[in-house]
Amino acid sequence: MNDSTPALRVAMIGHGFMGAAHSQGWRVAPRFFDLPLRPSMDVVVGRNAEPAAEAADRWGWRESETDWRRVIERDDIDLVDIVTPGNTHAEIAIAALEAGKHILCEKPLANTVAEAEAMADAAATAAERGVFAMVGYTYRRVPAATFARDLVAAGRIGEVRQVRANYLQDWLVNAEAPLTWRMNKELAGSGSLGDIGAHAIDLAQFITGQRLVSVSGILETLVKERPVLAISHGLSGVAGTERGPVTVDDVALFTGRFESGVLGSFEATRFSTGRKNAFRIEVAGSLGAISFDLEELNTLSFYDATAPALERGFTRILVTESEHPYAGAWWPTGHLIGYEHGFSHQVRDLVDAIAAGTQPTPSFADGLQVQRVLDAVETSSGNGSAWTSIPD
């Protein structure tokens, strides 16, 4: 990549935690991957001018703006990166696609299946004009997770027999932790289920190469009201004396059946005391198993049941060899990477696909399918945990 490389002019809408992580991806990816298009971090959009200007300065965006509608109409913007809460994804993404902008949209795709269907339809129409959309399930792009998929696809664990996916956090164990947008169904769509359960669904399907066809689940809100943040937009500030309702789930537990008939067990919770971001996936097969833990993201545990019986055991593979997915772009083997590198891998794959005129994955259709699984879990939970099919 050099100055003659065509630019990909990016506008990012939102600038919270995911805004910081996406900014890191846009800023760093071009320096470690030879990209066919040169991302330029042109505009960051926020509802309030001063915080947006501060975000532009801190994260390296050329301009800041407060009106996303004006930004998506600009003819000097090629791609819109949506990192706002889920209740705004559909309106922004559909308008931007219709304006001819490529899209990167944070997960989950939307707050409802209806919104996700409209987004997937708009993306399918735009793709016919060479305008592409991706949904940001970045954990697929952790080298160890991609390598796990490669091992399963190569048959190294044989036939998949069972899947378990647990995403464990504990940031809401304190009942006095204040209400934020993530606990408001109108803004977030759901709680642990859509926020981290969506990752468990997407990654389990990605690693196994199989989709879920039915689920049986239960959602629970453990703390039903919390202190209200003094500042109205609820994204930061000091908790006041007023209390408000938690309108989303704190814990999601569900069983899933994959298209092959295999059963999977899933857990997404913000009340697993002591677990900070423990996203664990284990896939057990007829000839072996893989086990991944995001809190040990540079390693993959691999069990080879075909090894001599006395030598069998889970091997801790350090996924940092240059031949491992993405790893060759960074450091010599054994020099580890972190949480943020998945966002650079996401930029690499998105830019490569746009330059090649091919559909980046996961697509909005993939995001819609995850949304349907989320919806089926919610339906099941409201119906005595009855098995609920996921429409194709």
Alpha carbon distance 70, 81 (integer Å): 15
Taking the least distance from each CB to ligand SOE, the nearer of 45 and 196 is: 196
In the complex, the smallest distance separating the C-beta of residue 247 from ligand SOE, rounded to whole angstroms, is 17
Residue 250: φ, ψ to 5°: -95, -35
Closest CB to ligand SOE: residue number: 195
Alpha carbon distance 380, 257 (integer Å): 14
In the complex, the smallest distance separating the C-beta of residue 117 from ligand SOE, rounded to whole angstroms, is 22
In the complex, the smallest distance separating the C-beta of residue 206 from ligand SOE, rounded to whole angstroms, is 15
Taking the least distance from each CB to ligand SOE, the nearer of 17 and 331 is: 17
In the complex, the smallest distance separating the C-beta of residue 137 from ligand SOE, rounded to whole angstroms, is 9
**Residue where the block lists tokens 């940001």:** 136
Amino acid at 324: H
Residues 222-281 that bind ligand SOE (CB under 6 A): 277
CA distances from 48 to 21, 72, 82, 87, 143 (A): 20, 18, 16, 18, 37
- 371 counts as binding ligand SOE under rule CB under 6 A: no
Contact (Cβ atoms closer than 8 angstroms) between residue 278 and residue 268: no
Bridge partners, 247 (sequence order): none
Alpha carbon distance 137, 391 (integer Å): 21
Taking the least distance from each CB to ligand SOE, the nearer of 117 and 202 is: 202
Taking residue 305's Cβ as centre, other Cβ atoms within 10 Å add up to 14
- 195 counts as binding ligand SOE under rule CB under 6 A: yes
3-state secondary structure of 295: helix
Instruction: Pick one of 169, 190, 216, 272: the residue that binds ligand SOE (CB under 6 A).
Output: 169
Taking the least distance from each CB to ligand SOE, the nearer of 168 and 290 is: 168
CA distances from 82 to 10, 134, 212 (A): 11, 10, 27
Q: Which two tokens stand for residue 66?
A: 């407060």
In the complex, the smallest distance separating the C-beta of residue 187 from ligand SOE, rounded to whole angstroms, is 13
Residues 69-108 that bind ligand SOE (CB under 6 A): none
Taking the least distance from each CB to ligand SOE, the nearer of 160 and 168 is: 168
Taking the least distance from each CB to ligand SOE, the nearer of 77 and 281 is: 281
Contact (Cβ atoms closer than 8 angstroms) between residue 234 and residue 278: no
- 196 counts as binding ligand SOE under rule CB under 6 A: yes
Using CB under 6 A, list all residues that contact ligand SOE: 17, 169, 195-196, 277
